[in-house]
Amino acid sequence: MTFGEKLRVLRKSKELTLKELSSRLGVDKSYISQLEHSKGVPSERFIKKLSKLFGIDESEWAILAGKIPKEIREIFYENPVTAPIVVKEEMAIYRRKPAGGPPKSIEPIFQTKLGKLYNADCMDLLRSLSDNSVDCIFADPPFNLGKDYGNKVNDKLEKYDYLGWCYAWLEECCRVLKPKGSLFVYNLPKWNIHIASFLDKFLTFRHWISVDIKFTLPIPKRLYPSHYSMLYFVKGPLPKTFHPPRLPMETCRHCGGEIKDYGGYKDKMNPSGINLTDVWIDIPPVRHAKFKTRGANELSMKLLDRVVDIATDEGDLVLDPFGGAGTTYIVSEIKGRRWVGSEIENCRPILDRFKRLEEQEKILQNSRKDLNRLFTQESLKLRKRFGHSTDKYRTLDHSPNGNPSQVSFFDHIKG
Ligand SMILES: C[S@@+](CC[C@H](N)C(=O)[O-])C[C@H]1O[C@@H](n2cnc3c(N)ncnc32)[C@H](O)[C@@H]1O
């Protein structure tokens, strides 16, 4: 842990804003903010003031500020024997006491055989869950872009207040995640760089998945933003479950011809499709009024379907702290996963969506029709029409209606 991280953790644990700490120390807010988020070295005077305010030994701060040789610090923080103890202490410092004592008791407003939905702050839901109890977590929080979600959500926080809020619910996520369980965090790259660094202290990094954005607006004096980031971490060295689906190869949408040249390897290619990579270009935005059930933030079921496929087995428990239009819950329900979630604002869109579960299943099934095959049905038709042979490839014998390995998810719900 750097000096800045320790400082921020301590400030949060005392529930002080940057402004409050700056006035108590008589030090400029931007100086503290820079220290908190950089590897900058504080002045002796600053260390003295801090020690006086928090009653912590000056030498402890000095060590963190790099006043003692780096090698000695590393022995302490990076030694596999002492590091877990240090990390545990840090987590304990960070765990802010819930206002008003023990976790609030909350009741679900909706439940199915598989899941429970709470109209609540995710911190209340998270605090009510036991340690190591959830198999997979997917979190798509507000991105702090100033959107209007309702009266209970402030989506225009100061940078470090937003991050501090994220760290608080993320820390709870790390606690409730089972060993070998997976955590996915969907956010803008500018937030996920900080979030990844925070999570790296508690979990094992697996992937930064770039999810291609189809339609965005250019930002003046910046590169055109064209991906969302989805972090994928696991508790412990390896996940319990890892079943990435295979995708069809990319082909020209006009003639079905290959986009990449597979040269002499055509007959070696897996007939079940191409390996999933960490760049996902096939996730559509939810724009069509027929599919859209809420505001502009609803994610495609295809994204959640893939996450659930990768990291869970039937019967596993999936948690999503930020319900929105309930995409995670709907997908989990259809796929026979148990689920639990919270939405602090209006839950009506989620409840309405559950009334249309059969229709939602059809949309999901349709988005899966080309999984685990080398050519999409559409591209096979085009290839035939435009004379692109598939003879050199090994292909599976697919039924005309879709993927043979596909099962009807709905069976278990009917029962
Ligand atoms: C980006 S949206 C999630 C969309 C969702 N993934 C979907 O596909 O429908 C974020 C949601 O989190 C909710 N939210 C914000 N703060 C919350 C909190 N503290 N607890 C629970 N929900 C919260 C917002 O009201 C919003 O609906």
pLDDT of 143-174, one tens digit each? 999 999 999 999 988 887 788 889 889 999 99
CATH number of 3-91: 1.10.260.40
How does 238-263 read in b/e, with b if 16+ C-beta sit within 10 Å? Answer: ebbeeeebebbbebeeeebebeeeee
Q: Is the CB of 149 under 6 A from ligand 1?
A: yes
How distant is the alpha carbon of residue 173 from its chain centre?
A: 11
Q: How far is CA 219 from CA 193, 224, 244, 301, in A?
A: 20, 6, 34, 28
pTM: 0.76
Eight-class DSSP state of 258: B
* 211 beta partners: 228, 280
Eight-class DSSP state of 251: B
Q: Which CATH superfamily is domain 110-247+282-367 in?
A: Vaccinia Virus protein VP39 (3.40.50.150)
Residues 6+ apart with CB under 8 A from 8: 36, 37, 160, 164
Q: Is the CB of 126 under 6 A from ligand 1?
A: no
Does the pLDDT value for residue 402 go beyond 80? no
Query: What is the CA(367)–ligand 1 centre distance, in A?
Result: 24
Q: Convert the pLDDT of each residue in 241-277 to its tens digit.
A: 999 999 999 999 999 999 988 888 888 999 999 999 9
**Residue 215 CB: number of other CB atoms within 10 A?**
6
Query: What is the CA(103)–ligand 1 centre distance, in A?
Result: 20
CB 133 within 8 A of CB 339: no
Query: What is the CA(161)–ligand 1 centre distance, in A?
Result: 17
Does the pLDDT value for residue 47 go beyond 70? yes
Q: What is the mean pLDDT of the chain?
A: 85
Query: What is the CA(180)–ligand 1 centre distance, in A?
Result: 26
> Helix, strand or coil for residue 27?
coil
Domain boundaries, the chain: 3-91, 110-247+282-367
Mean pLDDT, residues 311-336 taken together = 98
β-strands 115-118, 110-111 pairing: antiparallel
Query: What is the CA(206)–ligand 1 centre distance, in A?
Result: 25
Which of 119, 153, 291, 360 to mutate for ligand 1's pocket (most ligand atoms within 8 Å of CB)?
Answer: 153
Q: Is the CB of 121 under 6 A from ligand 1?
A: yes
Position 67 confidence tier, pLDDT thresholds 50, 70, 90: low
For atom 5 of ligand 1, the residue with the nearest CA is 324
Higher pLDDT, 41 or 114: 114
Q: Is the CB of 58 under 6 A from ligand 1?
A: no
Residue 105 has a pLDDT of: 87
Distance CA 400, CA 381 (A): 11
Q: Convert the pLDDT of each residue in 115-130 to its tens digit.
A: 999 999 999 999 999 9
